[in-house]
């Protein structure tokens, strides 16, 4: 392999999600100083020093990016080996610390776990942090979404299959009236909170079905563009495989930000033993490509191999 080819391979190894450790080791480990110097001069990862112009230094933004990409395998393995209760508790804690953009992770956990799984996460949170999830959500979330988030993480829904269709139709009308009358403060509407945080998931799916039959649109389509938390809540509760597929697709973009990319690790790790098969089927339906193929194209190195191993568990 020529130096030009090696440089191209190394650049690819540093690009994408994760890093290709094998290529990095095989190429960089045998280079002489003049070859490494040529790579520095010809790579976008480096810039000429502004003071002395005698050497090329790593671009600070790339250093931060690569630190994240090198750590992806470590984070994935740590999350995978944790008890699911601890994993969810730590994901919620991290989301609260990082701020509003990450609150969708709280929605994801509160709305896609069973009642027992969510209760387990709340127990683990007590043990790990000497506080309750509800207490920390109420303390950290200071915007209009506080009541919704506190109610969601506190919920313990009926898990059975029984649905009262007349009640579901009545609830669909209540939601429609609330959407028409509440404007930008829908998340403060007590009836909306009651329905979304107490009804069982089969009941909510029936409510959303009746809503579309009555009003010709999916309920999330009638929400204001700014109602991101409510939209995530409704999709997670009613169509979790669609929700997870969308998170994965946004994450599988090398230009995505840290928050968005983290969705790849989180979804694959947390759903590998639950419903990854259904998510793969929905992803294929939505985007016309197999999830494993997309991961193969975008991810790199041992991180990619680990993800593909977990995704294959649903075959």
Residue 23, token pair as written in the block? 């290529």
Domain count within the chain: 4
Q: Is residue 70 a part of any domain in this protein?
A: no
pLDDT of residue 314: 67
Q: Is residue 214 a part of any domain in this protein?
A: yes
- Residues 190, 148, single domain; the answer is no
- Residues 97, 109, single domain; the answer is yes
- Residues 220, 261, single domain; the answer is no
Q: Is residue 258 a part of any domain in this protein?
A: yes
Q: Is residue 227 a part of any domain in this protein?
A: yes
Beta-ladder partners of 46:
58
pLDDT of residue 50: 67
pLDDT of residue 36: 85
**Residue 109 belongs to domain spanning:** 83-156
- Residues 183, 220, single domain; the answer is yes
- Residues 134, 149, single domain; the answer is yes
Q: Which of 210, 238, 266 is the last residue of a domain?
A: 238
Work out the number of other CB atoms within 10 angstroms of the CB of residue 86.
18
pLDDT of residue 181: 83
- Residues 223, 249, single domain; the answer is no
Q: Is residue 73 a part of any domain in this protein?
A: no
Q: Is residue 74 a part of any domain in this protein?
A: no
Q: Is residue 78 a part of any domain in this protein?
A: no
Output the domain CATH number for residue 129: 1.10.220.10
Q: Is residue 225 a part of any domain in this protein?
A: yes
Q: Which of 207, 238, 269 is the last residue of a domain?
A: 238
For the chain, 315 residues long, the average pLDDT of each consecutive 10-residue run is 85 90 90 85 80 78 90 96 98 96 96 97 98 97 92 96 96 93 78 95 97 94 86 96 98 91 97 96 98 96 97 84
Q: Which of 191, 209, 238 is the last residue of a domain?
A: 238
- Residues 246, 220, single domain; the answer is no
């Amino acid at each position: 392999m020529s130096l030009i080819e090696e440089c191209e391979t190394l650049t690819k190894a540093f690009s994408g999600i994760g890093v290709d450790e094998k290529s990095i080791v095989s190429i960089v480990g045998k280079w002489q100083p003049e070859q490494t110097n040529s790579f520095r001069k010809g790579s976008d990862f480096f810039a000429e020093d502004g003071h002395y112009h005698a050497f090329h230094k790593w671009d600070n933004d790339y250093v931060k990016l690569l630190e994240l990409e090198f750590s992806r395998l470590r984070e994935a393995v740590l999350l995978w080996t944790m008890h699911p209760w601890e994993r969810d508790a730590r994901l919620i804690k991290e989301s609260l610390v990082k701020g509003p953009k990450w609150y969708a992770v709280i929605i994801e956990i509160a709305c896609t776990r069973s009642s027992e799984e969510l209760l387990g996460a709340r127990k683990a949170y007590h043990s790990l942090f000497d506080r309750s999830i509800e207490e920390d959500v109420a303390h950290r979330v200071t915007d209009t979404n506080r009541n919704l988030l506190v109610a969601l993480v506190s919920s313990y829904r009926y898990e059975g299959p029984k649905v009262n269709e007349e009640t579901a139709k009545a609830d669909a009308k209540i939601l429609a009236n609330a959407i028409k009358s509440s404007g930008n403060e829908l998340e403060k509407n007590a009836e909306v909170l009651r329905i979304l945080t107490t009804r069982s998931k089969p009941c909510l799916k029936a409510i959303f079905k009746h809503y579309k039959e009555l009003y010709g649109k999916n309920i999330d389509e009638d929400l204001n563009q700014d109602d991101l938390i409510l939209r995530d809540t409704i999709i997670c509760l009613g169509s979790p495989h669609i929700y997870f597929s969308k998170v994965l697709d946004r994450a599988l973009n090398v230009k995505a930000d840290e928050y968005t990319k983290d969705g790849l690790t989180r979804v694959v790790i947390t759903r590998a033993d639950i419903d990854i098969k259904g998510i793969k089927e929905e992803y294929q339906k939505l985007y016309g490509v197999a999830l494993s193929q997309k991961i193969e194209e975008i991810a790199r190195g041992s991180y990619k191999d680990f993800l593909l191993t977990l995704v294959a568990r649903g075959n």
